[in-house]
Amino acid sequence: MSRRHRAERRPGEFMADRSGNGRRRRSGLPLAWLVLLTLVALAGPAPSAAGPYREYEIRFIGEASPLGKSPSDADLINAVAWTMSNKLDLPFPVGTKAYIYVNQATFVDGLIQIAGEERQQAWDKGRFAAGVAARAGILLRGDHLARMHLLARAGLFAHELAHVSQRKLADGGKAGAAMWILEGHADWVKFQVLELLGLRQYRESRDEVVRSSSPTCRSSRPARAGSGR
């Protein structure tokens, strides 16, 4: 885990550790240990620095960096966000962040603390959602992301970031759009981003939607795993 955290750290990003794990220091340690601990701290995050979630400030501007074959969550989020901002001209609030939680319990905590959800609503969402959009940014289940392939991760990030952008677009408006419009638009944005990133053609995504909406397929239509709504 520590290696993964280190690999994902980039300028402008940082890891959160609200639990304070790894920061506590027992008194009475010999001087040699204190020196060693200081050197380890300077060298990078200690393994125990893994908190209940990681927090990234999303980069929307600057140069687009090419997407490797197996990008980290942070690199993929930045690539998706850059594409949405620079290719689709979608606006985002300043300081939009991504919060990646280690499991369902910490995700639910995040939904309450960051997204301001009521406890019951947070538990309901926490049971099935891999991602949720909030005013502050997107909240994600890291344990789900670890099991998802590149296309699904990119799609999830794009869909949830589209909801963040929708909030910005609606700033000052009188009433929110209907749910089906918001979800349809978020999926349309997702399909555009997948094509722009070279992951899947828009036509393929559209054909999949048509197939899943046809009466013959509807009865066997699988639940939308990974959807955050």
Distance in Å, CB of 228 to Zn ion, minimum: 6
Residue 185 in contact with Zn ion, rule: CB under 5 A: no
Distance in Å, CB of 73 to Zn ion, minimum: 19
Q: Kindly provide the residue ranges of all beta strands, DSSP E only, lying in the chain, ordered along the sequence.
A: 13-14, 53-57, 97-101, 131-134, 137-141
Structure tokens at 165: 């952008």
Q: Which is nearer to Zn ion, 17 or 159 (CB)?
A: 159
Residue 186 in contact with Zn ion, rule: CB under 5 A: yes
Q: Which is nearer to Zn ion, 57 or 183 (CB)?
A: 183
CA-wise closest residue to 126 among 74, 178, 118: 118
Residue 229 in contact with Zn ion, rule: CB under 5 A: yes
Backbone angles phi, psi at 138, to 5 degrees: -115, 140
Q: Are strands 97-101 and 137-141 parallel, antiparallel or unpaired?
A: parallel
Distance in Å, CB of 163 to Zn ion, minimum: 6
Q: Which is nearer to Zn ion, 9 or 229 (CB)?
A: 229
Residue 80 has a CB neighbour count (10 Å cut-off) of 29
Query: Which listed range, 14-22, 27-35, 48-56, 185-193, lies at the site for Zn ion (CB under 5 A)?
Result: 185-193
Chain positions contacting Zn ion, by CB under 5 A: 183, 186, 229
